[in-house]
Structure 1
Amino acid sequence: MGDDSHELHIAMFPWLAFGHMMPYLELAKLIAQKGHKITFISTPRNIDRLPRIPPSLAPLINFVKLPLPHEVHLLEGDEATADVPYNKVQYLKVAFDGLKDPMTKFLATSHDIDYLLYDFVPYWLPDIATGLGIPNAFFSIFLGAAVCFLKPQEDRTEPEHFTVTPKSIPFPTTVKFKLFEILRIFESITGDASDVSDSYRLQEVLRCCQMVAIRSCMEFEPEWLHLLQELLGKPVIPVGLLAPAEHDGAGPDESSGTWKSMKDWLDKQEKGSVVYVAFGSEAKPSQVELTEIALGLELSGLPFFWVLRTRRGSTDNEKITLPEGFEDRTNGRGLVLTRWVPQLKILAHDSVGGFLTHSGLSSLVEALQHGRALILLSFLAEQGLNSRIFEEKKTGYPIPRDEFDGSFTRDSVAESLRLVMVKEEGQIYREKAMEMKGLFGNKDIQDQYVVNFLAYIRSHRRCLEPKIPV
């Protein structure tokens, strides 16, 4: 077999969040489609909850389960950020750092791994991999613009420092945090129970990795990808936007009559009329926010399909409830579900015209591959930056909020929904969504990024002698 057709073996180690694991898995499937082997490493319960792999790819994707070390603040089964209230994510990082030794032993005894891809959280892993002679890269599930902004700066010590554009960004941009967004995550960025801040983790991973693979493409953010490579002084290779395939996303209820009842409801709605509302696996609105969203949906007069997350993990005792009489008043026009739904199937349905979303990148990609207009309401992590990125490109409209506390009103929810869905002045958002469908949903363009990425890896595959005795 010639050198160019060498079958690669690529190992992957994502952070314990489904917003991270799913893009890693999507890339794994695309690589396996080219005939290469993947070893996907995570904890037992997380692996058991991942979507089923298509039978044709199953022989090429091997899942390795590393038990999560015990952490006194976590319950048994708390293995992902979706399993715990936000204030306990810091203890998940403590447990995750306990995987350093098991991960080292695994890599040291896996002599055929050609390349290792890892997330930003295991800041200790790049040096271990390089020491074992394994070429490696940070695979960023964040866009280039977000990484450019988040790249650690010595002078950012207060929340307000994150509400201005860093001097390292040489062109005009609105990409920065609002004060309420950074206040919600400031402790994790600057330090928490793990004694290692997210900022330090990212700094070390960017410093020690040999290359950055990134979930993005040149057609969407060329200026940011060029800048990131310039700032890092090392290769930045986009792998595409990783829009999931239609047959994926199979969940626990899909084989029953659940999807049929949802489809029956959607089939009765006019084409492009429905607002789909979902805030991902982690974002949970406060009671005040929930009330304003609900009453805003009611005021808008638009049909809606709302997937509502009322708890974050089994220890979340902060109950949130819909306003009294809301479901009766919107009966027939609106549908509220609190269980798992096949999001891809819903977004693909002709009756859906818009998506009220938390601005998580996976949700944005899923919506735009179907040309759905975006109404943005960020909650956590880098979602605020994503909101600015898509707003700047006129691809999403953010619901107006108070800069300091993030509050918003039912009127602003209703007005934003009507603007994007039906008003003439929101036509730009509907047109841009359809324009982006030609990029986000173009399998040929996106597939070429995977081909180019594999070509890079093939030319830099394992050829180093281990520096660490094994």
Structure 2
Amino acid sequence: MANEESRFRVLMFPMLSYGHVSPFLELAKILSQKNFYLYVCSTPINLNSIKKRLIPSIELVELHLSSSPPELPPHYHTSNGLGGHLLPALLKSFEMSKPEFTIILEKLNPDLIIYDIFPPWIIDLAFSYHIPAVHFMCAGAASSSFFYSSVKNSSVPQFPSSGIFLKDSEVIKRKNALGEIKSAIFTSFERSCDIVLIKSCRDMEGKYIDHFHSILTNKKVISMGPLTEELDNEGGDLEEDADIILQWLDKKDKASTIYLSLGSESFLSKKDMEELAHGLKLSNVNFIWAIRFPKGEDIKAEVALPKGFLERVGGRGLVVEGWAPQTRILGHSSIGGFVSHCGWASVIESLGFGVPIVGIPMNFDQPINARLAVELGAGLEVLKDENLELERKEVARVIREVVIEKSGEEIRKKAREMSEKIRLKGDEEIDDGVEELRKICHKKKQILDLK
């Protein structure tokens, strides 16, 4: 093993979201075991969410958004739980953080930067300091390849599946949601140094990883595994809350309970929340529902849910407001399905535990991820009505099929098989990614030595 002085130092710069900071940390853990020294740079509120999971050779570096407006105080410097009206302000503040990040870059002088899809200036800044920069993609290969090829149109090989698509309404919704960040996403792919790293597994997305490689000419696309956090690292100060939830699950039969969580960045309308609640009641399936509301909104679950809902479902359901220990819930033997918005982290986590998915996608890459789960045979999507709203009977039908009905046996089997494939995956491709990063760092060192 090389001594500490010969370690390459890597500065990691994720988006301001737990869904990005967390896989960046898990990637940092892999690299730290391969004799890299890692710095993870983000706002204090994001770093607080991962600091209990640190290991030696990983250091946290705080980024302060000095240009943040008054309506965006430091505890709002994360997209988690942020209402849609505040997200543009956060992205603008992040984009204006170049002076603060430049100071950090000059101080650390890393051998390599691993960056996310935003802010757009990160690549030019890295190159101006002669530091190579590699993109790490927290989204899946199916969604990334789909969106990138749709922009390139006829100039790239045909997309490998007709089952992966967007409805017209989803195209419009995604376009409005992404806005100016869209061009930054594609630039982050194209200008990555030699390779693109991706949070994925070939057993889940092999043909999409290959397709993405085929349209990103001269770039290797390397999957680095699921990069989900370990069960015993979740909870921290909220351990007592986790124990209450897990004790409730202990009383339920094996695979009899469904877990509901629709992420921390998109929120249901009041009508959709009511339809989802009625659907749960109609399904007659046990459930645990983690409900979140946008920051700054003083809403309680008993007010948002239909009147008398909690009393009518009785001991069959548990509603949790805010945080829930997702990995430990999904890893519990009583869980038989996951009603999810199909954010990529949730999809890969659910299938990693062999839990089939009931997809209620809302925005961004989520519809593609939901349809990937369906294509893999490990989930079903809840279809919305002509007004793009949930309908209680459809919610109940899909939940029952995935968790209880005989017609869902193959879905449950496919989810278990996918879990085994993910867990038994070899480290060959991860080692390939590590070796490519070493080559990039060595190349930089050789250039500097010649000067």
**TM-score normalized with structure 2 length:** 0.91
What SS is found at the alignment partner of 1:225? helix
Which residue matches 1:236?
Answer: 221
What SS is found at the alignment partner of 2:53? coil
Give the C-alpha shift of residue 454 in structure 1: 1.1
What SS is found at the alignment partner of 1:123? coil
In the TM superposition, what are the counterparts of 1:48-59 in structure 2 within 5 Å?
48-50=48-50, 52-54=52-54, 57=55, 59=56
With 15-24 and 65-74 compared, the bigger mean Cα shift is at 65-74
Q: Matches of 1:274 and 1:379 in 2, distance apart?
A: 23
In the TM superposition, what are the counterparts of 1:64-463 in structure 2 within 5 Å?
64-72=61-69, 74-77=71-74, 78-111=76-109, 113-151=110-148, 168-189=157-178, 191=179, 197-210=180-193, 211-233=195-217, 234-254=219-239, 256=240, 258-309=241-292, 311-314=293-296, 321-402=304-385, 405-442=387-424, 445=426, 447-461=427-441, 463=443
Q: Matches of 2:363 and 2:79 in 1, distance apart?
A: 12
Q: Matches of 2:140 and 2:391 in 1, distance apart?
A: 30
Against the structure 1 CA distance between its residues 97 and 251, is the aligned structure 2 distance closer, same or farther, given a 3 Å change threshold?
same
Q: Matches of 2:152 and 2:433 in 1, distance apart?
A: 35
In the alignment, is the contact (CA less than 8 A) between 1:38 and 1:62 conserved in 2?
yes
What SS is found at the alignment partner of 1:173? coil
In the alignment, is the contact (CA less than 8 A) between 1:359 and 1:383 conserved in 2?
yes
In the alignment, is the contact (CA less than 8 A) between 1:274 and 1:352 conserved in 2?
yes
What SS is found at the alignment partner of 2:307? coil
In the alignment, is the contact (CA less than 8 A) between 1:44 and 1:65 conserved in 2?
yes
With 165-174 and 415-424 compared, the bigger mean Cα shift is at 165-174
The aligned amino acid for 1:122 is: P
- The answer to which structure has the higher helix fraction is 2
Larger RCO (alpha carbons 8 Å, 6+ apart): 1
Return 5+ residue gaps in structure 1 as ranges. Answer: 157-164, 192-196
Q: Matches of 1:377 and 1:90 in 2, distance apart?
A: 24
Q: Deviations over 1:30-58 (max 9, x none)?
A: 2223342110000122212325125xx1x
Return 5+ residue gaps in structure 2 as ranges. Answer: none
Q: Deviations over 1:118-151 (max 9, x none)?
A: 1111221112212322121111011111111222
With 312-321 and 177-186 compared, the bigger mean Cα shift is at 312-321
Give the C-alpha shift of residue 11 in structure 1: 1.3
**TM-score normalized with structure 1 length:** 0.88
Q: Matches of 1:315 and 1:462 in 2, distance apart?
A: 51
Against the structure 1 CA distance between its residues 153 and 297, is the aligned structure 2 distance closer, same or farther, given a 3 Å change threshold?
closer
The aligned amino acid for 2:409 is: Q
What SS is found at the alignment partner of 1:453? helix
Against the structure 1 CA distance between its residues 6 and 405, is the aligned structure 2 distance closer, same or farther, given a 3 Å change threshold?
farther
In the alignment, is the contact (CA less than 8 A) between 1:251 and 1:340 conserved in 2?
no
In the alignment, is the contact (CA less than 8 A) between 2:2 and 2:35 conserved in 1?
no
What percentage of aligned pairs have identical amino acids?
Answer: 28
Against the structure 1 CA distance between its residues 103 and 277, is the aligned structure 2 distance closer, same or farther, given a 3 Å change threshold?
same
In the alignment, is the contact (CA less than 8 A) between 2:11 and 2:113 conserved in 1?
yes
Give the C-alpha shift of residue 241 in structure 1: 1.5
Q: Matches of 1:252 and 1:179 in 2, distance apart?
A: 44
Q: Matches of 1:307 and 1:329 in 2, distance apart?
A: 18
Give the C-alpha shift of residue 289 in structure 1: 0.7
Give the number of aligned pairs.
443
